[in-house]
Chains A and B, each alone.
Chain A
Amino acid sequence: MSGGHSTYTPTSGLGRWIDARMPLPRLMYDSFVAYPVPRNLNYAYTFGGILSLMLVAQILTGVVLAMHYAADTTLAFHSVEKIMRDVNSGWLLRYMHAVGASMFFIAVYVHIFRGLYYGSYKAPRELLWILGCIIYLLMMATGFMGYVLPWGQMSFWGATVITGFFTAIPLVGDWIQQLLLGGFAVDNPTLNRFFALHYLLPFMIAGVVVLHVWALHVTGQTNPTGIEVKSKTDTVPFSPHATAKDAFAMVLFLIMFAWFVFYIPNYLGHPDNYVEANSLVTPAHIVPEWYYLPFYAILRAITFNIGPIDSKLGGVLAMFGSIAVLFFVPWLDTSKVRSAVYRPWYKLFFWIFVVNAIFLGWLGSKPAEGWYIPAMQISTLYYFAFFLVLMPVLGLIETPRRLPNSITEAVLDKNKAKSDAAAAAAVSH
Chain B
Amino acid sequence: MKKLLHSVAAVGFLASTAYAVAQTEPAAHGAGDQGIHLAGEGETQHYPLLKPTEEKWSFAGPFGTYDRGQLQRGFKVYREICSSCHSLNLVTFRTLEGLGYSEGQVKTIAAEYDIPGVGDEEGRKGLPSDHFPAPAAQDPPVPDLSLMAKARGVTRGFPTFVFDIFTQYAEGGPDYIHSLLTGYGKTPPEGIDVAEGTHYNPYFMNAAALAMTPPLTPDTVITYDDDTPASVDQNARDVAAFLMWAAEPHLEARKRMGFGVMVFLLLFAGLVYLTKRKIWAATPH
Chain A residues proximal to chain B, CB less than 8 Å:
39-41, 43, 78, 81, 84-85, 91-92, 95, 236, 240-241, 244-245, 247-248, 251-252, 254-255, 258-259, 261-267, 271-272, 274-275, 284, 362, 365, 367, 369-370, 411-412, 414-415
Contacts and interface: CB of A to CB of B under 8 A. Distances in A.
B143 A275 contact: yes
Interface residues on chain B, size class: 35 or more
A264 B151 contact: no
B170 A251 contact: no
Contact of B279 (A43, A241, A251, A252): A241
Contacts of B276: 244-245, 247-248
Contacts of B65: none
B269 A248 contact: yes
A82 to B, nearest CB: 9
Given A92-B257, A264-B164, A266-B150, A367 B44 contact: yes
Interface string B55-85: 0000000100000000000000000000000
B272 A251 contact: yes
Given A236-B285, A248-B273, A264-B165, 12 more contacts: A39-B284, A84-B250, A240-B279, A252-B269, A255-B266, A255-B269, A258-B258, A262-B258, A262-B262, A284-B206, A412-B284, A414-B284
Contacts of A95: 254
Contacts of A252: 269
A240 B257 CA distance: 32
B216 interface: no
Nearest to A239: B279
6 contacts: A85-B250, A91-B253, A92-B254, A245-B276, A245-B280, A251-B265
Contacts of A236: 283, 285
Contacts of B272: 244, 247-248, 251
A332 B169 CA distance: 44
Dominant secondary structure of chain B at its interface with chain A = helix
B265 A254 contact: yes
B152 interface: yes
A265 B254 contact: yes
Q: Which 7 A-B pairs have the closest CB atoms?
A: A262-B258, A274-B151, A271-B153, A244-B276, A274-B147, A251-B269, A415-B284
Contact of B147 (A254, A275, A362, A365): A275
Nearest to B7: A43
Contacts of B4: 43
A258 to B, nearest CB: 5
Interface string B254-285: 11011101100110110011011001100111
Nearest to B268: A251
Dominant secondary structure of chain A at its interface with chain B = helix
Interface of B: 4, 43-44, 47, 62, 90, 95, 143, 146-147, 150-153, 155, 158, 164-165, 168-170, 172-173, 205-206, 247, 249-250, 253-255, 257-259, 261-262, 265-266, 268-269, 272-273, 275-276, 279-280, 283-285
Nearest to A95: B254
A411 B269 contact: no
Contacts of B43: 369-370
B44 A85 contact: no
A333 B158 CA distance: 35
A258 B250 contact: no
A36 B50 CA distance: 60
Nearest to A367: B44
B274 to A, nearest CB: 10
A247 B177 CA distance: 44
A91 B252 CA distance: 12
B280 A274 contact: no
Contact of A258 (B249, B262, B283): B262
Contacts of B280: 241, 244-245
B262 A255 contact: yes
A419 B105 CA distance: 72
B90 A81 contact: yes
A267 B268 contact: no
B147 A81 contact: yes
B151 A263 contact: no
Given A255-B262, A265-B254, A271 B284 contact: no
Nearest to A90: B250
Given A85-B95, A262-B257, A244 B206 contact: no
B150 to A, nearest CB: 5
B152 to A, nearest CB: 6
A70 B272 CA distance: 41
A258 B44 contact: no
A415 B254 CA distance: 46
B269 A263 contact: no
Nearest to B161: A267
A379 to B, nearest CB: 15
Nearest to B155: A365
Nearest to A366: B155
B255 A263 contact: yes
B15 to A, nearest CB: 14
Contacts of A245: 276, 280
